[in-house]
Amino acid sequence: MRKYAIGLDYGTNSCRSLFVNLETGVEVASHVYNYPSGQMGVIVDPRDPNVARQSPADYRAGLIEIVVQGVAKAKAADPAFSPELVVGIGVDTTGSTPMPVDRAGVPLALRPEFNGNPGAQAWLWKDHTSHAEAAEITALAGKMRPQYLAKCGGTYSSEWFWSKVLHCKRVAPEVFEAAFSFVELCDWIPALLTGVEDPLALKRGVCAAGHKALYAQSWGGLPDKEFLGALDPALAALRDRLYSTACTADVPAGELCATWAKTLGLREGVAVAVGAFDAHMGAVGAGCCAGKLAKILGTSTCDLMVAKSGQPLADIPGVCGIVDGSVIAGYYGIEAGQSAVGDIFLWFVNNLVPESFGASPGAKFGALDDAAAKLKPGESGLLALDWNNGNRCVLTDVRLSGLVLGQTLHTSAPELYRALVEATAFGARMIIDRVRAYGVPVEEVITCGGLAVKSPFLMQVYADILGMPMAVAASDQTCALGAALFGAVAAGAFADIEQAQKKICRIRERVYQPIPENVAVYGELFALYRQLHDGFGTAAWNGNMGNVMKALIAIRERQR
């Protein structure tokens, strides 16, 4: 009998469903719902660019539409499909995107008395209003609990759970008072589907807990009350209303409840997996496994790796997060990334490329790709640092900036474009070299995201600089595909995620293989990149340049 699973993927501006045939791996249908609230689904504040909230009502309305419409499309596309054949549902979302909920698990935003109160909405991952609280948490942890910082790259972020909750307490005390608990979006959707109303009963995912809420089994779950109480006694009290264990996403959160089964037109009792973040499930959908790094190549990048757990894994300095089970159960999930990749190319094309290369940004990209592909490594004499948006890994320093050197009076735009692409690949290599040095094997890269498909030139440069094959995931929707796989495993359709990946995940035919002579030249260029990286990125000593970028930023801030 055929089986299908549904992946539900909640992004920043929309959510989507993906219906997957578990025998063939065919993605039979998909439906997208654009959030109606705010600006493209994001509730902003014209007076404060840091504000980014979302409406739980959008999530709920989207849930109905993407499944109901998806079922209709699946029926149309695949005569063998029937809603009865759906065995599992998996959910991935952005994060950390916590919501205050009441004792019955209802988001406060859905209660009339909090209508229009931004503190009661979901606090979207890219909300940066709590930067002061993040600094406070980092400072306190540095003093009281340095082990907390060691697993998250040394700095607690304003994008993360505790910063947001503490900021909510300060700026919207009426919301905090009314909140029985706070629930991540990735945990709330499965709770909704399974009809688990009690916030104390709903299953929490280890991905959000570990990467964003400082949860780890090794120190007994969430941060201890002494630490939380030092931030605010109310946080220590909240700890009892959160959770003490968190689950991997192959575990069922429960079964589809009668109410939602009817609403969605699915069978009651379908397995619903515990939720996780989009990047993590996307890595699974791309085929990430031990030795295969999944790289999501977009405006920034997210690199996900796994390493067999069981034996302790050392903290890896400068790597954003290491959480046992956050990608695949039985493996440490290791998350790294670069703060700007596609964004650097877009900046260059939008600001520094004449129209002679094309009338639109897309045409310019095409012309630059073609011209840059004709150059040999090192031929331009250029070398760049990929720090236009700071450095997330391995320096974890936002007060850094871009650098290009080697310009002559003949340097062309395609040469500079190639140098910027190379810089991002060198940055990628820094991350891989670092995790390898700490015993994490990386033998191949599987990419997904627009750039991987659009630019064969870029993929070849990456293969040559990383010295590894670069594959491209076959699916255009690896996040939703990964979510579907977790739904399938939770339903027992596969023994585990690895088996599901073997059956379902595909790469595209063209795998970019490193070209030995290019690898050799890039080896020389990488040594020079490292010299710039360490010289400008680390503390000043003797003749090095560690002060230069910071001094310029300090002057810039004073002068603006």
Of 343, 403, 378, nearest to 533 by C-alpha is 403
Any contact of residue 401 with a copy of itself (CB under 8 A)? yes
The residue assigned the tokens 């023994």 is 495
161 near a copy of itself, judged by CB under 8 A: no
Q: Is 395 in the site for a copy of itself (CB under 8 A)?
A: no
Q: Which string of x and - marks every residue 325-364 that binds a copy of itself (by CB under 8 A)?
A: ---------------x--xx--x---xxxxx---------
Residue with tokens 């002068």: 559
Question: Can you tell me which of 388, 424, 447, 460 binds a copy of itself, judged by CB under 8 A?
Answer: 388
Q: How far apart, in Å, are the Cα atoms of 559 and each of 126, 231, 547, 555?
A: 27, 34, 18, 6
- Measured CA to CA, the distance from residue 447 to residue 511 in angstroms comes to 10
467-506 footprint of a copy of itself as x/- string (CB under 8 A) = ----------------------------------------
Class of residue 446 by CB neighbours under 10 A (exposed 0-12, middle 13-18, buried 19+): buried
Residues 107-146, mask of contacts with a copy of itself (x by CB under 8 A): ----------------------------------------
* Binds a copy of itself (CB under 8 A): choice among 411, 454, 499, 503: 411
Closest CB to a copy of itself among 383 and 497?
383
Provide the mask over 163-202, with x wherever binding to a copy of itself is found by CB under 8 A and - wherever it is not.
----------------------------------------
| Window 510-529: residues binding a copy of itself (CB under 8 A) | 521, 524-525, 528
Site residue total, a copy of itself (CB under 8 A): 59
Which residue, 513 or 547, is less far from a copy of itself as judged by CB?
A: 547
> Backbone phi, then psi, for 432, in 5-degree steps?
-65, -40
Using CB under 8 A as the binding rule, whether residue 374 contacts a copy of itself is answered as no
| Residue pair 224/43 in contact by the 8 Å Cβ criterion | no
- If one asks whether residue 377 binds a copy of itself (CB under 8 A), the answer comes out as yes
Question: Is residue 380 within the footprint of a copy of itself (CB under 8 A)?
Answer: yes
For residue 505, give the nearest of 211, 320, 285, 215 by alpha carbon. Answer: 285
Nearer to a copy of itself, 403 or 493 (CB): 403
Sequence-distant (6+) residues with CB within 8 A of 108 are 99, 100, 101, 102, 114, 117, 120, 175, 178, 179
Residue 376 binds a copy of itself (CB under 8 A): yes
Single-letter amino acid, residue 12: T
H or E element that contains 523: helix 516-537
Is residue 371 near a copy of itself by the rule CB under 8 A?
Answer: no
What the block records as the tokens of 7 is 């992946």
Does position 302 bind a copy of itself by CB under 8 A? no
Give strand pairing partners of 558: none
> For 540, how many CA atoms within 13 A lie in the half-sphere containing its CB?
8
Closest by CA position to 249, among listed 207, 218, 279: 207
Binding residue for a copy of itself, selected from 389, 391, 424, 447, defined by CB under 8 A: 389
Residue 312 in the binding site for a copy of itself (CB under 8 A): no
Single out the segment in contact with a copy of itself by CB under 8 A; choices: 134-142, 235-243, 251-259, 378-386.
378-386
Distance CA 161, CA 143 (A): 20
Sheet strand arrangement including 122-123: 43-45, 48-54, 122-123
Write out the two tokens for 131: 């930067």
Q: Which residues in this chain contact a copy of itself in the complex, by CB under 8 A?
A: 340, 343-344, 347, 351-355, 376-383, 385, 388-389, 401-413, 416, 521, 524-525, 528, 531-532, 534-536, 541-545, 547-549, 551-553, 555-556, 558-560
